[in-house]
Amino acid sequence: MKRRLPRPRELAPLLQFRKPDLNVTRRRLDSALTIEDLRRIAKRRTPKAAFDYTDGAAEEELSLARARQAFRDIEFHPTILRDVAKVDTGATVLGDRVAQPFGIAPTGFTRLMHTEGEIAGAHAAARAGIPFSLSTLGTTSIEQVKAANPHGRNWFQLYMWKDRDRSMALVERAAAAGFDTLLVTVDVPVAGARLRDTRNGMSIPPALTLRTVLDAIPHPRWWFDLLTTEPLSFASLDRWPGTVAQYLDSMFDPTVTFDDLAWIKSQWPNKLVVKGIQTLEDARSVVDLGADGILLSNHGGRQLDRAPVPFHLLPRVAAELGRDTEVLLDTGIMSGADAVAAIALGARFKV
């Protein structure tokens, strides 16, 4: 083989030098291709208590692990020689069109991980054309989320407290702000046993103890953001000078029944979805009650360990009740492939 030196004009197409991006945060996020990539970044950049609160689940975290494994066990059987040149990723959920068949799920204590919290999530949902869900335990108020996403679809997730008047005050505020869907969570009669939080002494707001100060040393940016922005609290509720577990135990109502659910439905003027369905029998009862949708969920494994895997329940519920109500799904979804699997087995929407 005869060798020669390459000519400059032959090298030019191979030289793909680009101007370096000096924004470190943007460069880091652009390199994250999966949710797992983002998880690794978050673990490096946040204190242990904050990361564990977000990443952890109840007790041995079996429910969370099994939910992920359920999606990994699925295989796709594609058909061939079909015209797939035009693909529409949109969906209709609860009567309105959305750009993608998924939305942003409600999360508590959101600003613990990022100082902009729900505001950033609401902005992202507006840009993507998908619903944003605000938790009762959110760190941004109902009115602030509406201001951040004035023309998009905002959903409010409700826990029924022991103090019914406080619960209904939140419902009234969500309705007044134009939230179009109420997610009533029914799988938390008592707070879950989240062992990571207990070991870390997770409190509201995070306390400056010897342990947290030592943990802060590798994470100065997180502490700077925490100490120079609005105090971290549950924006829709009163301040509480104790641990997360103590607060939730003081609020969750173990006496909630289907009668309470019917009462909430009578008070809410828009769409109502019941979140936390884990059996076919309960799904039937909720549909009989007239709910607009059911959300198959075990709370991301954060409340009851060894709970049923929602993805396993999906085909039976969709086959029997899919014509009578909209079947939604959460827990374990980490990629577009997971969303496709859920759609294939009967889910209308994922959060």
Name the residue type at position 336. Answer: G
φ and ψ at residue 244, rounded to 5 degrees = -60, -45
DSSP 8-state class, residue 2: -
Looking up tokens 């294939």 gives: 344
* DSSP three-state, residue 325: coil
Q: Quick one: tokens of 18?
A: 């680009």
DSSP 8-state class, residue 310: H
What are the residues facing 133 on neighbouring strands? 155
Cα 244 from Cα 50, distance rounded (Å)? 12
Cis peptide before 308 (omega within 30 of 0): no
Binding residue numbers for FMN:
106-108, 135, 157, 185, 275, 297
Q: Which of 114, 123, 219, 299 is catalytic?
A: 299
DSSP 8-state class, residue 204: S
Q: How far is CA 130 from the centre of its chain?
A: 13
Name the residue type at position 221. Answer: R
Helix, strand, coil percent content, the chain, rounded in steps of 5: 45, 10, 45
Strand duo 326-329 + 293-296: pairing: parallel
Q: Quick one: tokens of 269?
A: 């003027």
Binding residue numbers for glyoxylate:
53, 159, 194, 299, 302
Residue 299: active-site member: yes
Cβ–Cβ < 8 Å for 119, 150 = no
Cβ–Cβ < 8 Å for 169, 149 = no
Q: Quick one: tokens of 252?
A: 């969750």
Instruction: Say what the alpha-carbon torsion angle 153, 154, 160, 162 is, to the nearest 10 degrees.
Output: -160
Q: Quick one: tokens of 198?
A: 């207990």
SS3 per-residue string spanning 275-292: EEECCHHHHHHHHHHCCC
Cis peptide before 205 (omega within 30 of 0): yes
Binding residue numbers:
53, 106-108, 135, 157, 159, 185, 194, 275, 297, 299, 302
Q: Which positions are catalytic?
A: 299
